[in-house]
Amino acid sequence: MSRKSWLTTVAALIVAVMLVGFTWGGTPPHANAADAGQRPAASTLPKGTLLASYPGGNTVGTEIREKQPRADGYYHIDTPATINELKRLHVNTYLFLVWHSPADWQDLNEQFLAAAKRAGINVWAYIVPPSECSTSGWCSRPYEEDYVTWAREIARLSTRYSNLTGWAIDDFTNGQNSQKFTPEYMQQIKQTVDGINPKLGLYTTAYYTTAIDDAFYEKYSPYISGIIFPFRDYPYYNTQVTSTLGPELDAILPHADKHHTKVLLMIYTGRYSTFDEPAPGYAQRAIDTGLDYVRKGRIEGVASYGTPHLGDPAVSSDLLAMYGRGSLVFQNYGGSTPAGAYESASQTVRVDPDAPRYTVSFWRYNRYYTTPTAGRLMQVLVDGHVVWSSDLATDISSGNHEYRWIKNEGPIEIDPSYLRGKRQATLTFRLYEDQAANYRSLTAFDTVQTSGFDVTDPGFEKPGSWRTESGFGNLIPEMNVYDPDLPTHVFQAVARAFAS
């Protein structure tokens, strides 16, 4: 063999060994572990950490069901598809909601628990309270509001399937539910479970104000193992801000610890009620924060609520753009907003110092959730000077909702003295509370057109091209760019976080 041939052979062997090494070592560092569908070999999370998924009752996707009804006329849970998705999501626990179909309890008994056990996935039975039972027939069936019977039957089922490790009753402290779940009734529930499987834990939802209330724990901690805390950025209720999650957990945990009550954090990763559809970054940041608390031994785990399904299309109504996919969106999430509060987006623009005139025009869109009151102003500013201002309440056409794009009539003339002789200036779009208000709204701007100065990204298509700022907690500005593959991208973000 010639020296050249020998060197070629050695090089080929080295490349082959490197390729085999990558195969043995798993996913390369730059690859997406979640997309690979495999959990990393080593996890930094403590043994016993709950990584859970919950389909939820107020989301777009909810459970995965079979494509055709069975002979009984019901669409049953698609167990193989659900298990496959849970494995790709890297969860070890599934909160099985018994609510949407009379066949749910049957599916849990006859197919899901066995399949989940084979896949190494634990299950909790999730039951709704009286407030979520309606005259239209929706309720947890077949035992509906007989929670002592639920306790008995779930406990019995857990003796057949060791992976049925817990159960939950949603929101039983809310309103009329507290009349049902008296200490005496809770004692019956606990005695029923303890007589069959004392290791079967009962959890209930506790929102922030409940979770920091010692009276709640004094009343219920003798009967429950833990709480499920849904994070919603109290008191502004949104799925965009994550910076308050740590402080909220810090406020809750002393109360829970004092009463020896476990905490399972729940993060909204799918559309919930009137909230915005959570973005992948939101889901990952929130779950990562929760997992930091898990690693410190402070909470039991994290549950993803309403996780979108792989391959599902995005909701078309989430497209908030006149043209293209992007727009500037100002949201006021309701509650009392003081005079002087604002949210804004600004950009340094290039100015022609000798232009004969300076103008700006744009499209705007407003959405109201309750009747608007006077004093919430849409504004455009140039170097701090207000060049256009209009009250949201004047855009309303009928009822309490406005869902149409409006273009200002003719370009807005800007006083030349604001820009003449300058090479650059600051252009600002702002939502300003001229007087205190208490209603929720969404305002969007799109397709900015100017003369005398140039704007970068006038269609708001590139996040980061405008600097956003908020002057009050319930005011959240964002560059909103519609993602037609949002469900898949959120799923992948949750999977990445759970695979950490």
Rounded mean pLDDT of the chain? 89
Give the pTM: 0.88
Q: Are 316 and 221 in contact (CB under 8 A)?
A: no
Which pLDDT does position 399 carry in this prediction?
A: 53
Top pLDDT among 138 and 320 is at: 320
* Domains 43-315+489-498 and 320-481 alike in fold: no
Q: How many CB atoms lie within 10 A of CB 310?
A: 15
Tens digits of per-residue pLDDT, 314-329? 988 889 999 999 999 9
Alpha-carbon gap, residue 154 to 344, rounded angstroms? 52
Cis before 353? omega within 30:
no
Phi/psi of residue 446, each to 5°?
-155, 160
Q: What are the tokens at 196?
A: 């069959």
**b/e map 433-471, b = 16+ CB within 10 Å:** bbeebebbbbbbbbbbebbbbebebbbbbeeebbebebb
Q: Which of 258-267, 282-291, 361-370 has the lowest mean pLDDT?
A: 361-370
Would the pLDDT of 56 be above 50? Answer: yes
Architecture of domain 320-481 in this structure:
Sandwich (2.60)
Model confidence at 401, pLDDT cuts 50, 70, 90, reads low
Which pLDDT does position 25 carry in this prediction?
A: 31
Alpha-carbon gap, residue 318 to 279, rounded angstroms? 12
Report the CATH fold assignment for 43-315+489-498. Answer: TIM Barrel (3.20.20)
Which pLDDT does position 38 carry in this prediction?
A: 38
Tens digits of per-residue pLDDT, 212-236? 999 999 999 999 999 999 999 999 9
Q: What are the tokens at 266?
A: 């729940």
324 burial level (CB within 10 Å; 0-12, 13-18, 19+): middle
Average pLDDT over residues 409-424: 95
Average pLDDT over residues 279-304: 97
Top pLDDT among 40 and 280 is at: 280
Question: Rg of the chain's alpha carbons, rounded to an integer?
Answer: 27
Model confidence at 136, pLDDT cuts 50, 70, 90, reads low
Phi/psi of residue 78, each to 5°?
-85, 90
Which pLDDT does position 8 carry in this prediction?
A: 43
Q: Which of 40-49, 220-229, 286-295, 383-392 has the lowest mean pLDDT?
A: 40-49
Average pLDDT over residues 1-30: 37
Domain boundaries, given as residue ranges, for the chain? 43-315+489-498, 320-481
Q: Which of 17-26, 192-201, 387-396 has the lowest mean pLDDT?
A: 17-26
Q: What is the DSSP letter of 276?
A: P
| Listed residue (449, 480, 486, 453) closest to 465, CA to CA | 480
